[in-house]
Structure 1
Amino acid sequence: MTPAINSAKHAGIAFQLHEYEHDAAAHSYGLEAAEKLGVAAKQVFKTLVVTLDGKQLAVGIVPVTSHLELKQIAKAAGAKKAAMAAPEDVERTTGYVLGGVSPLGQKKRLPTYIDDSAQMLSTLYVSAGRRGLEIELSPSDLAMLCQGCFAALATTLS
């Protein structure tokens, strides 16, 4: 059990776990998850941690087929600028290793922003707290569990 799974269980929401054999050589953890689970890549979301105005950490959740727009997450958070957080800050604050960072059950609850494309889906997949393990849940349950809000955060990768 990971803290993410425990968080979902404790909340009593409907969810499904999906496990696959993670390939350490995979270039993109999220695209690997979509391929190995046989689901549309636009349904699999990655959890990214940013630093707002050089001091506050926040979480951005975007489809693996997209790029997090730093200006957009800064705007959604009411900050002037955002930058990707240092890997050691991400792991220390969330309690998860890179490639397995879940928006659920983090050691420290961070302000969380979910790309508004999630609202078009009945369910989406996010990391369940380790590489090779995804949790499928509704976008509204995700937002409720991480006290997140929806905002335009991403641009599709070409």
Structure 2
Amino acid sequence: MGLESAREHLKKWGKDRDIQILEVAAATVATAATALGVAEAQIAKTISLKQPDKGALLIVVGGCHKIDNKKFKAHFGFKARMLGFEEVEPLLGHPVGGVCPFGVKPGIPVYLDVSLQDCVPVYPACGNAKAVIELSIAEMEQMSTYVQWVDVATL
């Protein structure tokens, strides 16, 4: 899956050709921002978390943010726990470093955190550590097929 499923997903909006393949792996916010020449806050970081009895969920946050455990628990009703390295690709269909909200396996809900609105455009990964795409917030909403906006991150 990975890049090809992300590309197929984005094709619905004619954005599959807008995926950029970087020369270096951009598996971290810092390396992605450097490779693109943008602020770290513009990197749309997709965090994969365990969802009790349902597999996983994804939350896309601004690059300088992390999950705030109190906010997360207040919103979702359970403690935030990251997927283990070995769980990521089998559950989501994307490898670590390339997790994104595009072309994930069915049944994986996607949430967008309000921290994404701090800097635009945003640059989410596209299924592998070298693939990214530039999107507006409106495009991110549409193409991520998100469930809702949440406020569960902090600097």
* 1:47–1:15 CA distance, 2 compared to 1 (3 A): farther
| Greater share of strand | 1
* 1:33–1:111 CA distance, 2 compared to 1 (3 A): same
TM-score, reference length from structure 1: 0.82
| Deviation larger for 108-117 or 8-17 | 8-17
Equivalent residue number for residue 145 of structure 1: 143
1:111 aligns to 2:109 (yes or no): yes
* 1:140–1:72 CA distance, 2 compared to 1 (3 A): farther
CA drift of 1:113 comes to 1.4
* 1:144–1:71 CA distance, 2 compared to 1 (3 A): farther
Q: CA RMSD in A?
A: 2.3
CA drift of 1:125 comes to 0.6
Name the SS for the 2:48 alignment partner.
strand
Equivalent residue number for residue 51 of structure 1: 50
Equivalent residues, number = 151
User: Is the contact made by 1:70 and 1:83 (CA closer than 8 Å) also made in structure 2?
Assistant: no
Equivalent residue number for residue 34 of structure 2: 35
User: Is the contact made by 1:16 and 1:137 (CA closer than 8 Å) also made in structure 2?
Assistant: no
User: Is the contact made by 1:15 and 1:137 (CA closer than 8 Å) also made in structure 2?
Assistant: no
Unaligned runs of 5+ in 1: none
CA drift of 1:47 comes to 0.9
Unaligned runs of 5+ in 2: none
| Deviation larger for 146-155 or 29-38 | 146-155
CA drift of 1:120 comes to 4.4
Question: Percentage identity across aligned positions?
Answer: 28
Inter-partner Cα distance in structure 2 for 1:121 and 1:94:
27
